[in-house]
Structure 1
Amino acid sequence: MSPAPRRILITTRLFDDAAARYLAEHDCVAVPSGLPADALDSDIPDAALSALLEGAVGWIVGQRAVTREILAAHPDLKVIARRGVGYDRVDIAGARALGRIVTIAAGANDPAVADHTLAMILAVLRRLKESAIAIAADDWRVVSGFDLTGKTVGLVGLGRIGKAVARRLHGFDTKVLVATRTPDPDFPFVEYVPLDDLIARSDVVSLHAPLGPETRHLIGAAALAAMKPHAVLVNTSRGGLVDDRALLAALEAGRLGGAGLDVFEAEADPALKPVAAALAARPDVVATAHASGSSGEALARGNLISAQCVVAALDGLAMPPGCLVAGG
């Protein structure tokens, strides 16, 4: 009698058939969470999650916090694969101490986030939200925006997504400034500058940095005050990079031209939900709900990479492209 397939809990939304088939072909079975299609796994109560994890040796996770307590309560759980990038929702120290493997799906959503970033830049500059609001109120007067062509765009960070954004901006004949600790010689069309210089010179500031103690509130009241009048701020990275209260104050005072926000501090701090709501309601703010990496193509890539990460970890194989192991 052949052994039972290894149970892999899937708590991400929109886990597709191709990724499930890959698991099945490698002696694994995808166990769905039963969440509604529009629900995030961060909404799963602890008790329900504990029941779902019973007997699971792998877990493909989206937004749910992975704590040491959860891992300790489920000793059979060998690998946790985030369908996304960044380890900030996982207790990496706890996972290491308990001998668990944690992976991310690097590169799966890079094109999607870069496209979304450009969409936000263009939407804010061309005042598309304001125009749509006016037309919905039967006001058909022209809302005049601004060109992206010829503007100076500052990128804070030049990782995979920052590079993808830089390549797209190059096609708009923009001047691209970059603040990063690791300049890349393969990007000769950008100018590397200190962050203060970038903030002062840019018509658009776009954030592509990780969130940590050194970068929390990287864009606060002082940085916002130093930006050009009517400059645009775009954040498709992490909410904590921006002091949302300070950003709201700057917009209310008319010191900025607008903002494109895919992430908010309220994601980590529910007490800031009123601030996020006030920002999202403004006509000069284009807001999305941490959706920049959630194109159909990006989700499919992330699903498959996550499935490959799980199989490689369970079988002791070398990790395939895109599978990055925490601390590896």
Structure 2
Amino acid sequence: MPTSPLVLVTSRSFSSGDLDLAAELEAVGARMVTGPSTHDLDALRPLLADATAWIAGTGPVTAAHLDAAPGLQIVARYGVGYEAVDLGAAAARGVLVTNTPGANTGAVADHAVALLLAGLRDVPQGDRGVRAGRWAVQRTRELGTLTVGIVGLGRIGRAVAARLSGFGPRLLGFDPWVPPAELDRLGIEGVDLDTLAAGSDVISLHAPGEEVVVDARFLGLVRPALVLVNTARATLVDEPALAQALRDGRLRCYASDVLGSEAGDHANPLLADDLLDRTVLTPHSAAQTVQAVDGMGRGAVDAVLAHLRGDQPPNLVPLPGGPR
């Protein structure tokens, strides 16, 4: 076992903002090593073998990863989501798990609104047309005259609603965990998912978990000129069904920061050439602001440092069989 704790970092953007968080780890005698954000097990195995703490990116943290890390004590998720972490395996091995709630809320909410407006007002298509010498325009719609449905009203969904309120659209919301009185306070009409699908001109996805929300049935309910925005998870959308719906003209645009395949190999059905003018796609960059990078890094490092001091880390994720 090494005399100084080894901290494995697998986040692409760790310590790349204004804060020198790597120096903070080194200042307490920790050694930092970096690994791939995909969490490829073969590549990580020699690094995990000596790791005390793991500041984990978006890749999976499986039982096999934890088996390869006999001295691992804490997984500090760099971000809010922890669905990719096998919490049962962590609990069975006595490994703590933390996350950084709220650190990237503003960044993701801003990006969702940017994608919404780009999709609604044909911004990418207009740019491509001008560069090709085409100045023909297609009339679009003003946000303030429309109805926007928000699926999932946690921190980010609420932040999107707050930003949209300045434009003046009608806001519908679906979140079974938020009481109707709270939705009323936020200026959002609470409805069921089918009503939201059928009644919205724009839908923005912010639901937790991995359950598919937008499937063939959902797409059969939506208005023909729908703009669908996704800054949450690719798994919320049945991508082949969505690609077909775009081809059939059952919605206007899909604007997303997440894809089921992000390898750049164009295997994803939404990357087909014939869908170029009906999709607005960004490279999982919603949380990539200086402020969000610093916030996520700060939260993850604070958790690791607290644990190394012998204190309880902030933002512990409840583990199966543990205290509630």
TM-score by length of 1: 0.88
- For the 8 Å contact 1:22–1:304, the answer to whether it is kept is no
Deviations along 1:74-126, one digit per CA (max 9) or x if unpaired, are 21111111111222211111111111111111111111110010001100110
Task: State the partner residue of 2:306.
Answer: 312
- For the 8 Å contact 1:153–1:177, the answer to whether it is kept is yes
Farther off after superposition, 250-259 or 17-26: 17-26
Q: 1:190 to 1:181 in 2, by over 3 A?
A: same
The answer to whether 1:92 aligns with 2:94 is: no
Task: State the partner residue of 1:197.
Answer: 195
For residues 109 and 100 of structure 1, the distance between their equivalents in structure 2, rounded to whole angstroms, comes to: 25
For residues 183 and 46 of structure 1, the distance between their equivalents in structure 2, rounded to whole angstroms, comes to: 39
Unaligned runs of 5+ in 2: none
Q: Which one-letter code corresponds to 1:41 in the other structure?
A: S
Deviation at 1:53, TM superposition (A): 2.1
Task: State the partner residue of 2:293.
Answer: 299
For residues 243 and 67 of structure 2, the distance between their equivalents in structure 1, rounded to whole angstroms, comes to: 41
User: After superposition, where does 1:1-328 map in structure 2 within 5 Å?
Assistant: 4-16=3-15, 18-33=20-35, 41-42=37-38, 45-183=40-178, 185-187=181-183, 188=185, 189-212=187-210, 215-216=211-212, 218-266=213-261, 273-278=267-272, 281-320=275-314, 323-327=315-319
Q: Which one-letter code corresponds to 2:147 in the other structure?
A: T
Question: SS at 1:41's partner residue?
Answer: coil
Percentage identity across paired residues of the two chains: 38
For residues 289 and 303 of structure 1, the distance between their equivalents in structure 2, rounded to whole angstroms, comes to: 20
For residues 40 and 236 of structure 2, the distance between their equivalents in structure 1, rounded to whole angstroms, comes to: 28
Q: 1:163 to 1:87 in 2, by over 3 A?
A: same
CA RMSD of aligned residues (A): 2.3
Deviation at 1:279, TM superposition (A): 7.7
- For the 8 Å contact 1:10–1:59, the answer to whether it is kept is yes
Deviation at 1:48, TM superposition (A): 2.4
Deviations along 1:260-292, one digit per CA (max 9) or x if unpaired, are 111123359x99933132289521211012221
Q: 1:140 to 1:244 in 2, by over 3 A?
A: same
- For the 8 Å contact 1:153–1:205, the answer to whether it is kept is yes
Q: Which one-letter code corresponds to 2:280 in the other structure?
A: V
For residues 264 and 229 of structure 1, the distance between their equivalents in structure 2, rounded to whole angstroms, comes to: 23
- For the 8 Å contact 1:127–1:284, the answer to whether it is kept is no
Farther off after superposition, 158-167 or 11-20: 11-20
TM-score by length of 2: 0.89
Q: Aligned residue pairs: how many?
A: 313
- For the 8 Å contact 2:303–2:313, the answer to whether it is kept is yes
Unaligned runs of 5+ in 1: 34-39
Task: State the partner residue of 1:36.
Answer: none
For residues 280 and 82 of structure 1, the distance between their equivalents in structure 2, rounded to whole angstroms, comes to: 38
Deviation at 1:318, TM superposition (A): 3.3
Question: SS at 2:99's partner residue?
Answer: strand
Deviations along 1:29-79, one digit per CA (max 9) or x if unpaired, are 32233xxxxxx520x542321112232200111122211112122211111
Q: Which one-letter code corresponds to 2:24 in the other structure?
A: Y
- For the 8 Å contact 1:201–1:227, the answer to whether it is kept is yes
Q: Which one-letter code corresponds to 1:56 in the other structure?
A: A
Question: SS at 2:150's partner residue?
Answer: strand
Deviation at 1:316, TM superposition (A): 3.4
For residues 280 and 62 of structure 1, the distance between their equivalents in structure 2, rounded to whole angstroms, comes to: 33
For residues 45 and 207 of structure 2, the distance between their equivalents in structure 1, rounded to whole angstroms, comes to: 33
Question: SS at 1:90's partner residue?
Answer: coil
